[in-house]
Structure formats: C-alpha cells, structure tokens
Amino acid sequence: MPNVPVCATFADPILASRHGGRLRQSRGRIIPYLSPLLAILVGIVHAALAPVIVVGGVKPNLVLVAVVLVTLLVGLLPGMIWAFTAGLTANLLVGAPLGSIPLAMLVVSVMVAGGARVLGRVGWVYPILATFVASIVADLIALGIAQLVTDAGSATLPVDLILAAATLNAAIAGLLLYPARLVARRYGADEALAW
C-alpha cells in the first residue's frame, strides 16, 4: 500500500477507500448533508397537513414529533438543527408569530435530550412520554407568545385541548418510533440506539 498521510486519508473519503479503507464512516448522524433538507420537508408537510387533519378536535404537531424522535435517536445537535430548520419552515408557512415555532422546538429539543440524560432511554416508554410532555410545553410556549404579541386579555387556558393534542402527538410518536429506529440504524446512529 502506498504511503498516504493520515490527515489526507481522513480528509478525503475517496482517497481513504482506495488506500486500505482507513476512514470509518461517521456514526451518530443520519444522512448529514440531507438532514436539513429533510427537516425543511417535515416543516412543509406540517404546514400543509396539520391544518387539514383534525383528530378529536385537535391538530397534530408533526414538527414536534420529528424533533423529539431525531433528538432521541440521533442526538441533541441534530435535534436542534431539526428544531430550528423545520420550525422556521413551518413558521414561515403558517400564521403563527414569527419565531415562535422554532423557539418552542429548540426548548423541546433541549428538554428531551436533558430528560433522556437524567431518566435514561427506557425502550419505547420515554419517547412517548417525552412527546406527551414536550407537546404540553410547546403549546404553553405558543400560548405565551401569542399573549405577548396580541392585545387579548388573560384568556383561560384550554387544558382539555392541550392534553388532547399531547395525547395525539404521543400516539403519532409511538407509531413512528419503530420505523424511525430502523432508519436511524440504517444510516448509522447505532450508538444513540444502544438502549
């Protein structure tokens, strides 16, 4: 094998594959270059479908479900990238106050990652519970921002709608958890899935 500098091997994947395969694929990232584009796609799908789909009087928050699953399966940094990118995309396409969705999703991402660090990732229980709690937090943040930017007085908190939306989002996360794990395993997030 020719004498190839190590720094060149790690910098150029093609050169590394030609010279003994010293470059190992980066683990813990789902399709690193396409990830923000997938997040934008989730934001567009959320903006298109969430106003139309109504289950039990509430609308699903697809961006929230995606952010929770990406944060749990891949890590905090990709979760924050998804939170900002998908949140901003959805925010630009729906009538929410500008910046409210990305802010709520960033808080959700940090909260979910912190909870996973403290409580551990318990099979399928924590992702569903995290989605339920994250949905409540995101709705409270959205209501708080709406109170700040509108002239509305102190309105009553729609607890029944917030809990129904949290239940719907947790159910969607439960349905998408297994396929999301398969995708994460397929594209190299095995270390994050060692639970």
Cα-flanking dihedrals φ and ψ of residue 58, to 5°?
Answer: -125, 160
User: Quick one: 84 and 142 in the same domain?
Assistant: yes
Q: How far apart are CA 50 and CA 44, in angstroms?
A: 10
User: Quick one: 17 and 58 in the same domain?
Assistant: no
104-149, pLDDT tens digit by residue? 999 999 999 999 988 876 678 899 999 999 999 999 999 888 888 8
151-161, pLDDT tens digit by residue? 666 667 889 99
Q: How far apart are CA 67 and CA 43, in angstroms?
A: 11
**Structure tokens belonging to residue 136:** 């409540």
Domain extent, residue 8, equals: 1-26
pTM exceeds cut of 0.85: no
CATH number at residue 97: 1.10.1760
**Structure tokens belonging to residue 149:** 């930017």
DSSP letter, residue 31: S
104, 163 Cβ separation under 8 angstroms: no
2, 19 Cβ separation under 8 angstroms: yes
User: Quick one: 73 and 118 in the same domain?
Assistant: yes
Residue 109 lies in a domain: yes
Residue 84 lies in a domain: yes
User: Quick one: 82 and 18 in the same domain?
Assistant: no
Number of separate domains in the chain = 2
Residue 191 lies in a domain: no
User: Quick one: 88 and 150 in the same domain?
Assistant: yes
Q: How far apart are CA 170 and CA 190, in angstroms?
A: 23
